[in-house]
Amino acid sequence: MTSIAQKAYNLGQPENDPSLPDRFYTKVSTAMASLLPNNPMMLLSVVNTQLRDEFSSLDELCVFFNADREDIEEKLSAIDYTYDPDLNKFV
């Protein structure tokens, strides 16, 4: 991950601040997942931009956003896009 993604990801890790309650991390995870749009065309734009600028793989993006990879791939396959790991984008 790049530095911006790594810093934000680290904020959501319980071992980084054990004084915060577990419900904080649940809220962070839920909030991160809600940042991905449901509209397939908007999702395509956001995901490909994030893959280009911040993440080296779709799995890394899914961990960061607490998103289900299969769900993303299913939504984007509905508009005829598939993930190409060599290009690290949906094409």
Structure-derived torsion over alpha carbons of residues 33, 29, 64, 8, reported in degrees to the nearest 10: 120
Mean pLDDT (the chain, rounded): 80
What is the reported pLDDT for 65?
Answer: 87
pLDDT tens-digit series, residues 43-54: 999 999 999 999
Contact 76, 82 (CB under 8 A): yes
Under-50 pLDDT residues of the chain? 1-3
pLDDT for res 66: 87
- The reported pTM is 0.69
pLDDT score at 1: 47
Name the DSSP class of 78: T
**Extents of the domains making up the chain:** 3-13+21-90
